Amino acid sequence: MKFGIGMYIWTTDVAPEHYPIFTTLAELGYDGAEIPVGSGLAADNQKIRHALDDAGLGCTTILNLAAEQNPVSPDAAVRRRGLDEIRFGIDAAHTLGSTVLSGPFQTAYAVFSGAGPTEQELTWSAEVMRSAAEHAADAGVVLAVEFLNRHEGYLLNTMAQSASLTARVDHPSFGVLYDTHHAHAEEDDVVAAITTHGAAIKHVQASENNRGVLGAGQVHWAATARALHEIGYDGWVAAEAFAADVPGLSTKAHVWRDTFGSKDRFAADAIGFMRDTFATEAAR
């Protein structure tokens, strides 16, 4: 496995003032960072790639869609904008040297219809995802959509639903991001969720139930690690935590309090925790 950390703990838009963080992450023992991408960001992805290279880091990438880019909108023009944005994210991932573009872009983030997913919405999403996956394959990128807890999304809330969408899309460059935070809010059995639908998992985020210090909450870490080992998962695991002082993210993710203290301490503790947990459990 390779171990990274989401830049969302520091920013939604990586800029030169954040580049020194890459050096710190490399010194801590990380393999890479998870970089936000999107057409609305000011980030210079070519310069970010150079900064990552200077630090000796790889990366993964993450994308969210806004309401006007919703792949399940009844308006075909809105769905096309969603596809265009995902293609932008794929191209950005390619520039950054990332082979994985993850995020809840199967739909617009935190946009609700007032009901559960319809057959038509799932069809629309699958159509957009299939077209995006074809573009991703040409760029050498794999798409990994993130199922969310019910308070942040409604189209996909579980691994079973996500695996079903993966089957609809039916493309080798499309699969699922398994986020421990969302899974522990929605799954009845996290081990069964992974082992039953593991073939669809293309990326993993390690995040506590309260988005705080890894290992200090309610996530079943040892069982999760064993299940990932059982399915033969050997990709990226990216630590994720959100801070209340990141504009644009804290309000969207409803982060109103500090759940981990120092960001530097979180990063330092998370890499040791992930290596100990996943490497130890994988060896058993």
pLDDT in tens, 62-72: 999 999 999 99
Percent of the chain beyond pLDDT 90?
Answer: 92
For residue 104, give its domain range.
Answer: 2-283
Instruction: Compute CA distances 104 → 64, 124, 154, 234, whole Å.
Output: 6, 15, 11, 22
Q: Quick check: 22 and 14 in contact, CB under 8 A?
A: no
CATH number at residue 54: 3.20.20.150
* 183-227 pLDDT tens trace: 999 999 999 999 999 999 999 999 999 999 999 999 999 999 999
pTM over 0.85: yes
* 92-126 pLDDT tens trace: 999 999 999 999 999 999 999 999 999 999 999 99
Q: How confident is the model at residue 145 (pLDDT cuts 50, 70, 90)?
A: very high
Q: Is the pLDDT of residue 284 over 60?
A: no
How many folded domains does the chain comprise? 1
| Per-residue pLDDT at 280 | 64
How far is residue 141's CA from residue 139's CA, in Å, rounded to a whole number? 5
